[in-house]
Structures are given as C-alpha cells and as structure tokens.
C-alpha cells in the first residue's frame, strides 16, 4: 500500500493506481522482499533483491545491464528527482515523497481526473509512456496485460466507472 493517505493522494482510486503501478514495476515477490518496493534498485528480483538503505536522497546507482538509475517503488530515474524535489518541496526520497512524485507524474500525463473517475484503461494508456511495464509502453521490455493490471487495481480497492466494468 502506498504510504500517502487517500485524502492526501486525491482518493482511493489514486492509491489503488499507485499499488497497481508498483505491482507492475516491482512485482509481488519483490514488494514483499523489500520495504514494499520503496527501497528497490533497478535490476532487482525477488530472489536477488538490490536494495538501498537510505531515503535521504535518490540513491543514483547506475545499473549498466539496464543502463538505468531507476529506483524506488515507482522506479524513478535519478535525473528527474532534483526537479520533483524542488517542485513538490520534498524533504527526501522517502516513501511519501515517492508517492507524491508518482502522483505528479500521473497529473502531468493528464491521467489524474481519469483515475479519480474510475476510467482505469484510459488512465493506464495515458501513463504507459512513464512506466515501461505497463501495457502499451513500447519500450521493448516486458509489459503486463491490462487485465492483470486491472485485477491489481481492483484488489487494492480501486473502483471502475460503469462504462469500464466487465460485462
């Protein structure tokens, strides 16, 4: 579960989407083997977790195999952290700060109102360019199926708009 409250996030659907993104990016096994994904470095697996131990700042650890500095529950690249830290007046790279950054990325993708109103598939399509594991991302990495993402969203307490409900 995200550490930010539903009230601070903008509602339960937003929190459910954060859980859905984490399940997609980190995976259930690694979420369990870590601090719910908040301390995970890119390239981690449940059987071989690569974790960082300080939330003072983004760890900025480069993984040459993946050519990435992605870290945290939402796998934020190091190069974006300073701008978000300043814009959102974040104290650190702790769990609530990571949640707030992900919510800002959702807003910037114009998906915030979509998810608040339960338009899950449209919200996923709008944010897929940010998270490579989401369906339709197009980065050449493993992409999870929309049905798997929707199941994670619903399991996290998300609600669908009437037009999104399965027949």
Which residue, chain included where needed, has tokens 């601070």?
A: 8
Give the DSSP H/E element, type plus range, for residue 30: helix 28-33
CA–CA separation, 43 vs 64, rounded Å?
Answer: 10
Which residues pair with residue 90 across a beta bridge?
none
| 94 vs 90: CA distance, rounded Å | 9
Q: How far apart are the first and last CA of the chain?
A: 28
Question: What is the Cα gyration radius of the chain?
Answer: 15
> Which residue among 7, 25, 32, 108 is the active-site one?
25
Crossing angle for the helix pair 146-155 and 12-25, to the nearest 10 degrees: 130
Query: Catalytic: 108?
Result: no
Q: Give catalytic residue positions.
A: 25
């Amino acid at each position: 579960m995200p550490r930010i409250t539903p009230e601070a996030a903008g509602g339960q659907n937003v929190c459910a989407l954060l859980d859905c993104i984490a399940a997609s990016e980190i995976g259930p096994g690694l979420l369990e083997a870590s601090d719910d994904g908040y301390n995970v470095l890119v390239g981690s697996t449940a059987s071989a977790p690569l974790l960082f131990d300080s939330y003072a700042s983004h760890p900025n650890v480069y993984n040459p195999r993946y050519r990435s500095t992605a870290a945290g529950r939402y796998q934020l690249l190091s190069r974006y952290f300073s701008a978000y830290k300043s814009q959102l007046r974040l104290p650190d790279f702790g769990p609530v700060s990571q949640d707030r950054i992900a919510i800002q990325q959702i807003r910037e993708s114009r998906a915030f109102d979509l998810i608040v109103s339960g338009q899950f598939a449209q919200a996923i399509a709008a944010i897929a360019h940010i998270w490579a594991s989401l369906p339709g991302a197009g980065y050449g990495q493993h992409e999870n199926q929309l049905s798997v993402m929707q199941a994670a969203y619903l399991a996290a307490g998300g609600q669908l708009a009437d037009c999104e409900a399965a027949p």
